[in-house]
Structure 1
Amino acid sequence: MSNPSILVLGAGGIGGYFGGRLAGSGADVTFLVRDGRRKILSEQGLRIESPFGDAQLAVKTVVASEVAPIYDAVILTCKAYDLEAAVAAIAPGLAPDGYVLPFLNGIAHIDVLNQRFGQHRVLGGTAKIQATLTPSGAIRQFNDWRTLTFGEQSGEMTERVKTLAALFAAAKGVEAFAVTDIVQRMWEKLVHLSTAATMTCLMRANVGEIVRTPNGRELFLDQLQCGAAIAAANGHTPSDDFMRLWKETFSQADSQYATSMLRDIERGGRTEVDHILGFMLDRASEAKIAHRTLLLAYTHIKAFEQRCAAGRLPAQADTGESH
């Protein structure tokens, strides 16, 4: 599989950035998009605005009705609440030996994909990037986050993982790591993300704003310990280095770090609350781990959804998409 055929679902901030960087390096990439996005891409090309160099690329596209089972790899970067529709869209595109590489927040989607395609055809992955699709149709990257981490659920270092790593290594503006412990890393990211989302959404503030309150740091570190206990109960105790890093991060009084879930709330949009906080809440209950702050945050966001459904919350401008 020296030059695998890759299908990327969508051409938004995350899929468009990483897929575009692959295409720019000569990889065989096709974007599965809707008619409107296809028109923009055909007229303007795929445009990337980035600290690592701007790009304007002529790219291959297909719409759902044109998808054929010819793709060796399908890269999935949708929001968790769009997973069902995304699975239906990509299923016709997988070649007989093709596989799916998802870069979604959390870990709940892995069970869904395993059930649909079989565990041997699903890799694990995490993405760290802050990028958005601008009104003009360009993809704008906001900072130097550009990291993908991926691997086999089994922990094997297979040829397809090595091939994919080599393709990303040749791409401009991408850091890619092929690993043998991706499930552990996904759990660790979920601990970090669920902690950050719990606190920033519950308090409607970024990390620094919370830490500067009298008890904010203490609450943050308590929630980090709660997340770590949940992961440990599921066989994935976070490493000492991981805990040290995030204890420091969640103690920084000058930090401006916020979560995409908070930005979703601030613009009155849908959130991944069930996929992230709801998942952790269920695991905490199963393991009989105290989870009051997590429960408060989950209820807070579910109440926000009720207000949105009633049209009682004005939408605000989004500031980007990040993982």
Structure 2
Amino acid sequence: MLVLGAGALGSYFGGRALERGLDVVFLVRPRRAEQLARLGLVVESPLGDIRRPVATTDRAGPGFDVVLLSCKAYDLEDAIATIRPAVEAGACVLPVLNGLAHMDTLSAAFGRERVWGGLAKCAATLTPDGVVKHLGDWRWLIFGEQDGRMDGRAAALAAALGRTRGLEAEAVPDIQRRMWEKLVHLGTVAAGTVLMRASVGEIVRAGGTEFLLTLLQRNADIAAAHGHVMTPAFMETYRKLFSDAASTYTASMLRDLEAGGRTEAEHILAWLLEAARRAGVPGEIHALAVLHARAYDQRRAAGRL
């Protein structure tokens, strides 16, 4: 496995893959390479810490079965150029980027047969000193080949990774539906917490339950209009999540924003807004979230944060 980057998700899943005995190499920039050489890979997790030396490289090449692509969506074009030698030599791509916009771009670059669908359910963050902090017990890596094949390389990777305390890996035949489920969830927490600059629990305690549940339903309506109806069990699970007054849950987009960094608003919130408009779903909340994020981008570009 070649892991592009050793940020939060790349480090967590790459580290767990090492624990399972896979041959893992991290393709990283010089600063991160220096951290990994000095400290090793350090992941602090309630499901078991990871502290171990790792192999790194500064370029892709032949010899890999799969590339774990865990970059931010705004770095996708550079990532495609970086991993191209490995993919052209035979590797498949397992992207765990947020949203759905990247799938067409990757398929156009490498062909659908080389690009799997994938999603990660894992809250983690990379600190400036190079330590990855796993925030909670979410540990799922779900992926599948776009044609639904269950006897190929994706199934073999799922079997190799297995289901352990620190990682539950699963190959599925319906990865598009699973990715839409994640987008319904992610679009709700991202738009909600970014607009309010608060956690789910803080929004609920401020009287915002109806706001969050309306946003959840709008995202479900968008998915349904695009052929992916959310199940009653899914909706019930996330209605509970977005009604929890004790929740500290925030989107990574909010954490990026509060740190003064770039966000994936264009790839998630703006994409959902356009999908809502195509489907005839009311999009005023999404439009406000996009406006909020773009106004932040203006302030960031001008150095006024």
Q: TM-score range by the shorter chain?
A: over 0.9
**Structure 1 letter corresponding to 2:236:** R
**Structure 1 letter corresponding to 2:53:** A
The residue aligned with 1:117 is 110
Which deviations, in whole Å up to 9, do the C-alpha atoms of 1:34-79 show, x marking residues without a partner?
A: 2222233233322222223223323221112xx3232111000011
**Structure 2 letter corresponding to 1:7:** L
Alignment RMSD: 1.6
Displacement, 1:230? 0.8
Mapped to 1, the partners of 2:248 and 2:13 lie a distance apart of 25
What secondary structure sits across from 1:246 in the alignment? helix
Mapping 1:13-52, distance limit 5 Å: 13-52=8-47
The residue aligned with 1:69 is 62
Mapped to 1, the partners of 2:131 and 2:204 lie a distance apart of 35
Mapping 1:86-101, distance limit 5 Å: 86-94=79-87, 96-101=89-94
Whether 1:273 and 2:287 are equivalent positions in the alignment is no
The residue aligned with 2:203 is 210
What secondary structure sits across from 1:191 in the alignment? helix
**Structure 1 letter corresponding to 2:17:** L
* 8 Å contact from structure 1 (residues 151, 179) kept in 2: yes
Larger deviation, residues 173-182 vs 103-112? 173-182
Mapped to 2, the partners of 1:310 and 1:250 lie a distance apart of 34
Whether 1:189 and 2:194 are equivalent positions in the alignment is no
Which deviations, in whole Å up to 9, do the C-alpha atoms of 1:118-164 show, x marking residues without a partner?
A: 11111111111122223332322232121111111222213212211
Larger deviation, residues 87-96 vs 177-186? 87-96
Displacement, 1:225? 1.3
Mapped to 1, the partners of 2:47 and 2:247 lie a distance apart of 24
* 8 Å contact from structure 2 (residues 163, 169) kept in 1: no
The residue aligned with 2:289 is 297
Q: Which has the higher strand share?
A: 1
Which structure ranks higher in relative contact order (CA pairs < 8 Å, sequence separation ≥ 6)? Answer: 1
Displacement, 1:311? 1.3
Mapped to 2, the partners of 1:147 and 1:102 lie a distance apart of 14
Displacement, 1:95? 5.1
Whether 1:228 and 2:223 are equivalent positions in the alignment is no
The residue aligned with 2:233 is 241
What secondary structure sits across from 1:281 in the alignment? helix
Whether 1:169 and 2:180 are equivalent positions in the alignment is no
Mapped to 2, the partners of 1:205 and 1:134 lie a distance apart of 20
Gaps of at least 5 residues in structure 2 are: none
The residue aligned with 2:55 is 60
* 8 Å contact from structure 1 (residues 211, 252) kept in 2: yes
The residue aligned with 1:255 is 247
What secondary structure sits across from 1:145 in the alignment? coil
Which deviations, in whole Å up to 9, do the C-alpha atoms of 1:64-121 show, x marking residues without a partner?
A: 2xx3232111000011111111111111122543210001111111111011011111
* 8 Å contact from structure 1 (residues 24, 57) kept in 2: no
The residue aligned with 1:321 is none
Mapped to 2, the partners of 1:218 and 1:56 lie a distance apart of 43
What secondary structure sits across from 1:150 in the alignment? strand
**Structure 2 letter corresponding to 1:68:** G
What secondary structure sits across from 2:140 in the alignment? strand
Using the size of structure 1 for normalisation, the TM-score is 0.90
Displacement, 1:260? 0.9
Q: How many residues align?
A: 305
**Structure 2 letter corresponding to 1:117:** F
Mapped to 1, the partners of 2:89 and 2:10 lie a distance apart of 23
Mapped to 1, the partners of 2:129 and 2:220 lie a distance apart of 41
* 8 Å contact from structure 2 (residues 61, 89) kept in 1: no
Whether 1:145 and 2:142 are equivalent positions in the alignment is no
Mapped to 1, the partners of 2:163 and 2:278 lie a distance apart of 44
* 8 Å contact from structure 1 (residues 70, 95) kept in 2: no
Which deviations, in whole Å up to 9, do the C-alpha atoms of 1:148-200 show, x marking residues without a partner?
A: 11111222213212211122117661111221111101001101111111111
Mapped to 1, the partners of 2:101 and 2:66 lie a distance apart of 21
Mapped to 1, the partners of 2:210 and 2:163 lie a distance apart of 43
Displacement, 1:26? 1.8
Mapped to 2, the partners of 1:69 and 1:171 lie a distance apart of 30
* 8 Å contact from structure 1 (residues 78, 104) kept in 2: yes
Moved beyond 3 Å, runs of 4+: none
